[in-house]
Amino acid sequence: VLTVPHWIDLSGVFFFAMSGALAAYDKSIYRDFFGITFIAFITAIGGGTIRDIMLGIHPLAWIGDISYLLAIGAGVIIAVIARRQLLKLTATMLLFDAVGIGLYTILGTQKSLAADVNPLAAIILGMFSAVFGGVIRDTLLNDLPLIFRKEIYATACLAGGSLFVLLRHYAIDADIAAFAGIALVIAVRVIAVYKSWSLPKMGD
């Protein structure tokens, strides 16, 4: 079984909280400290919470271990202090987000397999882990969820999760399978943005 170092998991939470806090700045009505923190919190823990509730796993990570809440707090504070600098680093932010969804996808897929879920459902739950925080955030903001708007996003998660499941099925070492899956998510997502890839639309 893959044991992801705790600091990698916390880094994912930290980066998602930072990106959530920065997103809240786009909507001026959310610019008090509570609004920013609430959006950051939902973005950071939404996906994993939905996944664990669907799997019936308790306690939820952020409820059982206070370090998740501290990581969110750190992400919010750094985002608020360094927002001018961070918002200029669009390429860096894209990479942070891609790393975040890559980590969450594989963590979620792996956690689902460990709970004896069938591989197809595990891939879907891995994708949910990565994207659902953003879906709830966008729904609360009355925006069309990002996963429906952007260049290939959730599909990158499905691709990485599928690769991970496939490699594990052929008994490839768990760490290698995880790194390959995470790398595929990041690569597809980053290339999709730079090449403006999107899935083909269907006609009438």
81 interacts with a second copy by CB under 8 A = no
- Cβ-Cβ contacts under 8 Å for 50 (sequence gap 6 or more): 128, 129, 132
- CA-closest candidate to residue 157, choices 176, 136, 132: 132
60 interacts with a second copy by CB under 8 A = yes
5 interacts with a second copy by CB under 8 A = no
90 close to 19: Cβ distance less than 8 angstroms: no
Residue from 88, 149, 169, 195 binding a second copy (CB under 8 A):
149
Residue from 120, 169, 175, 176 binding a second copy (CB under 8 A):
120
Residue from 49, 109, 110, 129 binding a second copy (CB under 8 A):
49
d(CA 18, CA 37): 10
- CA-closest candidate to residue 173, choices 184, 164, 182: 164
Q: How far is CA 139 from the centre of its chain?
A: 16
- CA-closest candidate to residue 49, choices 156, 120, 137: 137
200 interacts with a second copy by CB under 8 A = yes
130 interacts with a second copy by CB under 8 A = no
| Nearest distance from C-beta of residue 100 to a second copy, angstroms | 19
Count, residues near a second copy per rule CB under 8 A: 51
d(CA 44, CA 1): 25
- Cβ-Cβ contacts under 8 Å for 46 (sequence gap 6 or more): 132, 133, 134, 135, 136, 137
62 interacts with a second copy by CB under 8 A = yes
154 interacts with a second copy by CB under 8 A = yes
Q: And the tokens for 141? A: 């903001």
| Interacting span for a second copy (CB under 8 A) from 94-102, 121-129, 162-170, 187-195 | 121-129
- Closer to a second copy by Cβ: residue 83 or 179: 83
The 3-state DSSP class for residue 172 equals: coil
- Closer to a second copy by Cβ: residue 99 or 158: 158
| Residues at the contact surface with a second copy, assessed by CB under 8 A | 25, 28-36, 38, 41, 49, 53-56, 58-60, 62-64, 66, 69, 80, 84, 117-118, 120-121, 124-125, 135, 139-140, 142, 144-145, 147-149, 154-155, 158, 198-202, 204
